[in-house]
Amino acid sequence: MKIAILGGTGSIGEGFALRWASKHDIVVCSRDVDKAIKAADDYSNLLLSKGTLCCGITGCTNETAIQDVDVVVLSVPYKGMVPLLEKLKPFFKDQIVISMVVPMAKNDKFEYTPPEQGSAALEIKSVLPETVKVISAYHNISAKKLADLESTLDYDVVICGDDEDAKKTVMELTHEINNLRPLDGGGLESSYMIESLTPFLINLAIKNGLRDLGVKFL
């Protein structure tokens, strides 16, 4: 499978690139092609130093990457997300798009600030072509632990989407990352509940001096 990561030079983008590269072709995307190429080289060298073979990690611009992939991961801040997707809309066809985007603002504490559609995932669906299959997942995973291949990710991942085959594909990708457990969260309309956990967990961590919080259902 070929996976493009928009925002692939960031820490959570790095984590997914490193975790999936042994089984899939990874494209690290950025508006700055030199930055994307450097990040891809760095990730490849890191895996090589650990004796891990990878299918291939390359870097290129957002526009070039998404035209020829099966899955697009949106690892970008909410601010600026819609203009970015509107610019890239002509390059989308029928890809699976995984959103881990969370709309939130910081006042006295972090607050969930959903758009009029009800969630970032539903807003993304409203922007992209109807043939694109939007899946919501990975909102509550520690970016630091994800990028550290020595860390154990003992988290549950709630996955929401309206296309059952696309949701199954994302659940299989989740299974490939050791100790992550995918859970079917129903349709995309449920995404707001999972997105809103992110600011809650950040506030909880700040108040209690905790780090790298995630979600585990027992």
In angstroms, the CA 144 to CA 184 distance is: 25
Residue 52: the pLDDT is 82
pLDDT in tens, 14-73: 999 999 999 999 999 988 999 999 999 999 999 999 888 788 999 999 998 898 899 999
d(CA 44, CA 53): 9
Query: In the prediction, which pLDDT does 196 show?
Result: 97
Quickly list H helices, the chain.
11-20, 33-49, 62-66, 81-88, 120-127, 143-147, 164-175, 191-195, 197-208
Beta-carbon contacts of residue 162 (< 8 Å; ≥ 6 apart): 133, 134, 187, 188
Spell out the domains of the chain, with CATH numbers in brackets. Answer: 2-208 (3.40.50.720)
Residue 166 token pair? 């696309």
Q: Which of 160, 146, 152, 154 is nearest to 195 (CA)?
A: 160
What's the pLDDT at 210? 94
The amino acid at 25? D
Residues of the chain scoring pLDDT < 70: none
Predicted pLDDT of residue 53 = 76
Burial of 118 per CB tally in 10 Å (0-12, 13-18, 19+): middle
Q: Tell me the pairing of strands 96-99 and 156-161.
A: unpaired
pLDDT at residue 168, rounded to an integer: 98
